[in-house]
């Protein structure tokens, strides 16, 4: 069944708004925590850098016209940012528990799904592409992102502390 519209629907507008809210929260936390920046390992800064790229691009990709050269180029950047964010996360361990956290399951999800997103787009399976992008944005970007704030995690301490 073909897509009814290539334009952003209500759910995609909500996802775009969620990305903007999360981006604002991360930037605010970073500014509030600037006194502690020197204690942050380089791998965490790399992780934050790639996620900031994905957060900035998410509303752009969800709300702008799709299918043109610009969408494809920005899509490659978004996919690379998401893939790198997930890959880098395995070098970041929960110090209090000495290992991986539940959020790392979303990293596995991302590493598997980024190639599927690209494949669906390249084979013009727009329904699968759209569904996969929505799932990745919901789970690996927004859910994982919002769970970086509670439970005494760094961004949460900086934002709320």
The strand pairing partners of 94, in sequence order, are 99
CB contact set of 123 (below 8 Å; sequence gap of 6+): none
Share of the chain above pLDDT 90, in %: 78
pLDDT digits (tens, 9 = 90+) for 56-115: 999 999 999 998 999 999 999 999 999 999 999 988 876 545 577 677 888 999 999 999
Is the pLDDT reported for residue 2 higher than 90?
Answer: no
pLDDT digits (tens, 9 = 90+) for 145-156: 998 898 788 999
Question: How distant is the alpha carbon of residue 72 from its chain centre?
Answer: 18
160 versus 4: the higher-pLDDT residue is: 160
pTM (predicted TM-score) = 0.91
Mean pLDDT (whole number) for 121-129: 95
């Amino acid at each position: 069944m073909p897509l009814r519209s290539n334009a952003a629907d209500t759910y995609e507008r909500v996802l775009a708004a969620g990305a903007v809210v999360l981006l604002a929260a991360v930037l605010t936390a970073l500014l509030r925590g600037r006194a502690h920046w020197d204690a942050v390992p380089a791998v965490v800064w790399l992780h934050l850098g790639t996620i900031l790229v994905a957060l900035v691009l998410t509303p752009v990709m969800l709300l702008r016209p799709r299918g043109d050269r610009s969408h494809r180029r920005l899509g490659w950047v978004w996919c690379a940012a998401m893939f790198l964010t997930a890959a880098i996360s395995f070098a970041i361990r929960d110090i209090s528990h000495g290992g991986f956290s539940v959020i790392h399951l979303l990293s596995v999800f991302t590493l598997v799904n980024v190639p599927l997103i690209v494949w669906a787009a390249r084979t013009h399976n727009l329904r699968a592409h759209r569904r996969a992008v929505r799932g990745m944005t919901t789970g690996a970007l927004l859910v994982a992102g919002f769970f970086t704030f509670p439970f005494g995690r760094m961004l949460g301490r900086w934002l709320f502390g």
